[in-house]
């Protein structure tokens, strides 16, 4: 459809991944000229950045479209919890509220591994697969 997906990590500011007024921890969808498509999920929502397609990501780095045009993103967890996510328009992927990883100290992250209204990864690794 001529749009681009851009992945943005939470940049060490965990709470920002749940804040729709910031683009940290999100997947953005923009036009080739940098404009926000009118059919993005948060366009017109007060206080939300219109370019956000999905949010609640920790560190999404790899992205690809499958043969059906579905966006998939690989995402680094903390200590464990690396994920592959099927990215859905407007979805919340839970970081830092839910995670399969742990803090580097070994402490638990957030409230557990699942919460209503937050997407589950298509697959996760624990321990981590990243070097």
Q: Domain map of the chain by residue range?
A: 1-131
pLDDT at 131: 61
pTM over 0.85: yes
Homologous superfamily of domain range 1-131: TolB, C-terminal domain (2.120.10.30)
Q: Which helix (H) or strand (E) is 42 found in, with range?
A: none
- Phi and psi (nearest 5°) for 20? -70, -5
Whole-angstrom distance, CA of residue 67 vs CA of residue 36:
24
pLDDT at 67: 97
* Residues 6+ positions from 24 with CB-CB distance below 8 Å: 8, 9, 10, 11, 13, 16, 17
Q: What is the pLDDT along the chain (131 residues), one digit of tens a residue?
A: 889 999 999 999 999 999 999 999 999 999 999 999 999 999 999 999 999 999 999 999 999 999 999 999 999 998 899 999 999 999 999 999 999 999 999 999 999 999 999 999 999 998 887 66
């Amino acid at each position: 459809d001529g749009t681009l997906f851009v992945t943005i990590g939470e940049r060490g500011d965990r709470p920002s991944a749940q804040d729709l007024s910031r683009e940290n921890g999100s997947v953005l969808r923009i036009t080739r000229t940098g404009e926000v498509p009118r059919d993005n999920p948060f366009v017109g929502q007060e206080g939300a950045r219109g370019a956000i397609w999905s949010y609640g990501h920790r560190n999404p780095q790899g992205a690809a479209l499958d043969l059906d045009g579905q966006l998939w993103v690989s995402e680094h967890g903390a200590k464990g919890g690396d994920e592959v996510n099927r990215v859905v328009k407007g979805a919340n992927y839970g970081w830092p509220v839910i995670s399969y990883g742990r803090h580097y100290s070994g402490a638990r992250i957030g409230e557990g591994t699942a919460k209503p209204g937050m997407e589950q990864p298509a697959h996760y690794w624990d321990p981590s697969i990243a070097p």
